[in-house]
Amino acid sequence: MLMPSTGPRTRTVRVRRQLPTSPWLFAAPGLLVIGAFILYPFMSTLVNAFTDRRTLIPGEFVGLANFRELLHDDMFWTGLRNSALYVLGVVPALVILPLLLALLVQKNIPGITFFRSAFYTPVVASIVVVGLIWVWLLDERGLVNALLETIGVGRVGFLSDQWLLLMSAMAVTVWKGLGYYMIIYLAALANVPRELHEAAAVDGAGAVRRFFTVTVPAVRSTMALVGALSSVAAFKVFSEVYLMAGPSGGPAGEDTTLVILVQRTGTGLTGRVGYASAISVVVFVVTVALMLLVLRADRRSEV
């Protein structure tokens, strides 16, 4: 506690001179940006959902009219169904496949760094690039169909059938996400004590048995995290379906998702901002519910 005799005095002087301004000066740019461009738009989305606001018309308070209209809007139900199906299709694949992939690249064998990086490449590429690559691959005359024809299966209309198109988009989402979640799992696997595996091996447990009795319990909370992250992202899917099915989500819009609907309803000079905001509110509510659901399932399974 020995200090030079001048220390305490300069200290109080400095504290008094700096403290009132500089902390807020440091935080101000960040607070300003998130305030103006994230939190304010969020609040105004909540407010606009109860108005008939349009792009060029301020609009008036209409109570629950937008939500009542949603109930009778077939397009909304189609979007909700497709977004929900997207979660059901994508999430199990993104929880399990990257874990298997992480186990494959975990062991340090020669060249493994190259493979890890290569598997991450789709994550780095823009979703537009990825979408267009797959539109060409899955084209009626594209590579996948050429290969299918060569082996005698015949051509498949991946991008023309409503359901095949939705499944193809899901496959693209999984393909792009694999590397990202693989890295998350690699970090979790690094924390699994090697002794656990060795002990199980000594007890005569095979690779499959060890996977279920050692690996899965050890990374269970990571699986819940991946489940939460991927389900929220899947429910908000936009780009994959937009690029593969077109701006209107397929010829009659039967592949539309909720976010495509938000984008299509709310933009342009005649955009129905109020109605699009009501759809956004549904997106918020389901997103939060999905997160809580996955994290709660995790807690229950740990008890």
Partner 1 sequence: MTRVRTGELVLRYVLLLAVLALTVGPFLWQLSTSLKGPTEDIYSSPPAFLPQHPTLHNYARVSETIPVWDYAFNSLKVATANVVTNCVGAALAGYALARLRYRGRRVATLAFVLAMLVPVEGIVIAQFTTMRELGLNNTLLGVVLPGCIGAMNVLLMRNAFLNLPYEIEEAAYVDGANVWQRFLRIAVPSVKGTLAVVAIFAFMGAWDDFLWPLIVLSDPSKFTLTIGLNYLHGTFANDERLVAAGTVIAVAPLIALFACLQRYFFRGVGEGAVKG
Among 60, 88, 92, 126, binds partner 1 (CB under 8 A): 126
Is 104 a binding residue for partner 1 by CB under 8 A? The answer is yes
Among left, alpha and beta (phi > 0; psi -120 to 50; other), residue 152 is left
Is 61 a binding residue for partner 1 by CB under 8 A? The answer is no
* Alpha-carbon gap, residue 235 to 259, rounded angstroms: 9
Which residues are registered as beta bridge partners of 61?
51
Is 283 a binding residue for partner 1 by CB under 8 A? The answer is yes
Least distance (Å) between residue 199 CB and partner 1: 19
**Cα-based angle 138, 143, 149 (whole degrees, multiple of 5):** 100
* Alpha-carbon gap, residue 145 to 168, rounded angstroms: 13
Restricted to residues 240-279, the positions that interact with partner 1 (CB under 8 A) are 243, 247, 259, 262-263, 266-267, 271, 273, 276-277
61 backbone dihedrals φ, ψ, rounded to 5°:
-65, 125
Restricted to residues 204-243, the positions that interact with partner 1 (CB under 8 A) are 232, 236, 238-239, 243
Q: Which window, 61-69, 156-164, 182-190, 293-301, contacts partner 1 (CB under 8 A)?
A: 182-190
Is 38 a binding residue for partner 1 by CB under 8 A? The answer is yes
Beta-carbon neighbour count of residue 269 at 10 Å? 7
40 vs 77, which CB is nearer to partner 1? 40
One character per residue 41-60, x = contact with partner 1 (rule: CB under 8 A): xx-xx--x------x-----
- CA distances in angstroms from 14 to 9, 22, 260, listed in the order given: 9, 12, 55
Q: Which window, 68-76, 85-93, 173-181, 195-203, contacts partner 1 (CB under 8 A)?
A: 173-181
85 vs 186, which CB is nearer to partner 1? 186
The dihedral built from the CA positions of residue 33, 36, 41 and 42, taken in this order, carries a sign that is: positive
Kindly state the number of chain residues that form the binding site for partner 1, as judged by CB under 8 A: 97
Cβ pair 62, 145 in contact under 8 A: no
In DSSP notation, 203-265 reads TT--HHHHIIIIIHHHTHHHHHHHHHHHHHHHHT--HHHHHHHTTTTSTTSTT--HHHHHHHH
Least distance (Å) between residue 158 CB and partner 1: 14
Among 132, 153, 199, 292, binds partner 1 (CB under 8 A): 132
Least distance (Å) between residue 62 CB and partner 1: 17
Among 57, 64, 88, 118, binds partner 1 (CB under 8 A): 118
Least distance (Å) between residue 61 CB and partner 1: 17
Is 193 a binding residue for partner 1 by CB under 8 A? The answer is no
126 vs 160, which CB is nearer to partner 1? 126
Is 112 a binding residue for partner 1 by CB under 8 A? The answer is yes
